[in-house]
Amino acid sequence: MNKQLQIFSNGFIRENPLLVLNIGLCSSLGVTTSIFNGLGMGMGMLFVLLMSEIVISIFRKFIPSAIRLPVFIIVIAAFTTIVQLVLNAYVPALYDALGVFLPLIVVNCIIMGRVEAFASKNNIGNSILDALGMALGYTMVLVLISFFRELLGGGTLMAGTPFMVTVIPEAYRIGVFNSAPGGFMVFGILAAIVQFGKYVAAEKQGKKCEEPTVHDCSACNAACGSKPADSAEKTEGGN
């Protein structure tokens, strides 16, 4: 159970494709001008990544190594086409908003990387967990970036939907967040927060190991690879 939980949770923080691995940035910064766009892109990625990992995991033992990459691309392209057709038929506004970034899901490094590194080497259950974790972590970051860019740059939330609300008057909006530099600024701040959190967690772990508590001294000494004080004294006495 712990292994499955770790596989699922990797995509949120530890191996988040955007904030940690820094892959798939082009589409993520291109479509995150509104929450509606970011959420739509995330759901499209979720479908393509999930279905691609399922199919590749099922047939992984039958795919020759020499042609695995072309096969992966064909599978990904098939599910990307399905997403395009569905959005064009039922959500044309989102289809137009995502533009060229929608068909570019085929060559997105996140999908190709997970299919190659994980689905082609693991069973279907773990592949499903990996796809869900990675896609949800990706969508979470897209929505966060979209939230700040839409709020500060457009002064609205959920623009393009019946739930749109105006939060900031036009005179106080910061137009740079509607452009590419604004997207990089928001992304950079979020990535810095994640890295700072990881640094603080590592510092706390190191301090805990260096300064063992009275009640858990043996456990900490074992973790640090050091000898307990009484053992050291006995060794010195024997010498």
For the residues 174-197, what does the mean pLDDT come to? Answer: 90
- The pLDDT, as a whole number, for residue 231 is 45
Note the pTM of the prediction, 2 decimals: 0.82
Summarised one tens digit per residue, pLDDT across range 48-66 is: 999 999 999 999 999 999 9
Q: Return the ∠ at Cα 132 (arms to 126 and 133), rounded to 5°.
A: 90
Give 232's pLDDT tier (boundaries 50, 70, 90).
very low
Q: Return the ∠ at Cα 19 (arms to 17 and 21), rounded to 5°.
A: 45
* Residue 58 dihedral angles phi and psi, to the nearest 5°: -65, -45
- The CA R_g of the chain, rounded to the nearest whole Å, is 23
- Report the C-alpha gap between 35 and 7 in whole angstroms: 27
3-state DSSP assignment of residue 13 = coil
- Report the C-alpha gap between 11 and 140 in whole angstroms: 10
Summarised one tens digit per residue, pLDDT across range 206-223 is: 776 555 554 555 545 554
- Report the C-alpha gap between 105 and 84 in whole angstroms: 10
- Report the C-alpha gap between 54 and 215 in whole angstroms: 47
- Report the C-alpha gap between 143 and 38 in whole angstroms: 5
Give the count of alpha carbons within 13 A of 230, CB side only. 2
The torsion region of residue 105 among left (phi > 0), alpha (psi -120 to 50) and beta comes to alpha
- Report the C-alpha gap between 233 and 239 in whole angstroms: 10
Residue 51: CB partners within 8 Å, gap ≥ 6? 79
